[in-house]
Amino acid sequence: MSYLFSSESVSEGHPDKVADQISDAILDQFLAYDEHARVACETFVTTGQVVIMGEVRSSEYIDLQAIARNTIKKIGYTKAEYQFDGDSCGVLTAIHEQSDDINRGVDREDDEDQGAGDQGMMFGYATNETENYMPVSLDLSHLIVSTLADIRREGKEMTYLRPDSKSQVTVQYSDDGTPERIDTIVVSTQHDEFDDDDERMLATIKADVLNILIPRVKAQIKSEKVLKLFDDQIKYYVNPTGKFVIGGPHGDTGLTGRKIIVDTYGGKGAHGGGAFSGKDSSKVDRSAAYAARHIAKNMVAAGVADEMLVQVSYAIGVARPMNIYVNTYGRSRVNMTDSEIAQRIEKLFDLRPKAIERQLKLRQPMYLETAAYGHMGRHPEVVKKTFTSRYHETKTIDVELFTWEKLDRVEDIKREFAL
């Protein structure tokens, strides 16, 4: 008997994602001028107001207010009628120096012995149901809201769109865990009040979602097995409340780290509970979660299993993880137990925090791009990023994004598992 599974995503204009992007833009600015900066930055946004809080240890000074305003404007909050815009919102800051009691557990005389910046457990997950080894329900949810944002920025169609939006995709699976079809798609998008008749306005938005948005989404899908999931029986819910004019931070308070399931695997696998945005890579909440994804993705790509969950855990101030746990959900392709697979992973991958930083190049200003549309399943690439500051020279840096998505250990894994 088949079953249904759902995942959601939100656009960069969602208030929680606005907060995430401000936090990661601040982190990137610090790293651009001080690669050794330690940053734990939280952002809170509401009607006409931004509050930036956290702990920083750095030799450099940056203009937090300018970074927040520029980030908000790039997202698209540029009009006073939104009740939240980059030029007029208030920006309060409450940043202080990182605790010496935390720092003493991280810094070591030998960099390779750098301790974990906190305790906790982190998970990585991969499945071969999509080309990027992500759950198809989440992959499609991301694609829907990112395509909606593309349409909004182009300004040629659906010109009533505002920055805030959400999507949700429900997929029907067979008993053996194979996606069979898409059952339901939900799209909620903030919009201008472009018609005095609410029913007529909603009918226009529904028609545009079906005739403009969904065809553009499907045109970007390269996988035939994913395209086959679309049929004429899909149930569509568009702005189910009937109206979505009030949105963004004016409609709902936003806070860094409140979309951790959107950021990872859409409810598939597991999550250790730690958020990513605003944290430098000494915080294993972020760096070890990336490392676990890198392991799971390369293991599935190598053919060890069709699906894999990897857990690592740490004690604050200790370099080596407390454990490595593997679950292949009965879908292993090698004649080994999951615990034996975990032992091979420990042999193949150095999971000390400093080794993760080095291998995945996590001291680059690479994080703003992660703060919307998911940290996992993205395309690794090198881009030029330019940073300006009233306190420093302008810098243009080649930055390698999404290094944890590289399939650079597949051959090593195949050799280890004789595949």
16 annotated among ligand-binding-site residues: yes
Does a structural domain hold residue 372?
yes
If asked whether residues 236 and 327 sit together in one domain, one would say no
Pick the last residue of a domain from 224, 246, 268. 246
Does a structural domain hold residue 319?
yes
Give residue-wise pLDDT tens across range 91-145: 999 998 765 545 555 655 556 667 777 789 999 999 999 999 999 999 999 999 9
What pLDDT is recorded for position 317?
Answer: 85
If asked whether residues 307 and 233 sit together in one domain, one would say no
If asked whether residues 236 and 291 sit together in one domain, one would say no
Does a structural domain hold residue 84?
no
35 annotated among ligand-binding-site residues: no
If asked whether residues 183 and 308 sit together in one domain, one would say no
279 annotated among ligand-binding-site residues: yes
Domain CATH for 406: 3.30.300.10
Enclosing domain of residue 203: 3-8+136-246
Whose CA is closest to 116, among 297, 318, 285, 302? 318
395 annotated among ligand-binding-site residues: no
Pick the last residue of a domain from 246, 272, 294. 246
If asked whether residues 213 and 293 sit together in one domain, one would say no
If asked whether residues 356 and 293 sit together in one domain, one would say yes
What pLDDT is recorded for position 46?
Answer: 97
If asked whether residues 221 and 298 sit together in one domain, one would say no
If asked whether residues 293 and 399 sit together in one domain, one would say yes
165 annotated among ligand-binding-site residues: yes
40 annotated among ligand-binding-site residues: no
244 annotated among ligand-binding-site residues: yes
Does a structural domain hold residue 184?
yes
Pick the last residue of a domain from 201, 226, 246. 246
Does a structural domain hold residue 219?
yes
283 annotated among ligand-binding-site residues: yes
Give how many domains the chain has, as a whole number. Answer: 2
Does a structural domain hold residue 327?
yes
Q: What is the 3-state secondary structure (H, E, C) of the chain?
A: CCEEEEEEEECCCCHHHHHHHHHHHHHHHHHHHCCCCEEEEEEEEECCEEEEEEEEECCCCCCHHHHHHHHHHHHCCCCHHHCCCCCCCEEEEEEEECCHHHHHHHCCCCHHHCCECCCEEEEEEEECCCCCCCCHHHHHHHHHHHHHHHHHHHCCCCCCEEEEEEEEEEEEECCCCCEEEEEEEEEEEEECCCCCCHHHHHHHHHHHHHHHHHHHHHHCCCCHHHHCCCCCCCEEEECCCCCCCCCHHHHCCEECCCCHHHHCCCCCCCCCCCCCCCECCCCHHHHHHHHHHHHHHHHHHHCCECEEEEEEEECECCCCCCEEEEECCCCECCCCCHHHHHHHHHHHCCCCHHHHHHHHCCCCCCCHHHHCCCCCCCCCEEEEEEECCCCCCCEEEEEEECHHHCCCCHHHHHHHHCC
281 annotated among ligand-binding-site residues: no
Does a structural domain hold residue 225?
yes
Q: What is the pLDDT along the chain (419 residues), one digit of tens a residue?
A: 799 999 999 999 999 999 999 999 999 999 999 999 999 999 999 999 999 999 999 988 899 999 999 999 999 999 999 999 999 999 999 998 765 545 555 655 556 667 777 789 999 999 999 999 999 999 999 999 999 999 999 999 999 999 999 999 999 999 988 999 999 999 999 999 999 999 999 999 999 999 999 999 999 999 999 999 999 999 999 999 999 999 999 999 999 999 999 999 999 999 999 999 999 999 999 999 999 999 999 999 999 999 999 999 999 888 899 999 999 999 999 999 999 999 999 999 999 999 999 999 999 999 999 999 999 999 999 999 999 988 889 999 999 999 999 999 999 999 999 99
If asked whether residues 240 and 292 sit together in one domain, one would say no
Does a structural domain hold residue 15?
no
For the whole model, what pTM was predicted? 0.94
What pLDDT is recorded for position 118?
Answer: 79
98 annotated among ligand-binding-site residues: yes
359 annotated among ligand-binding-site residues: no
101 annotated among ligand-binding-site residues: no
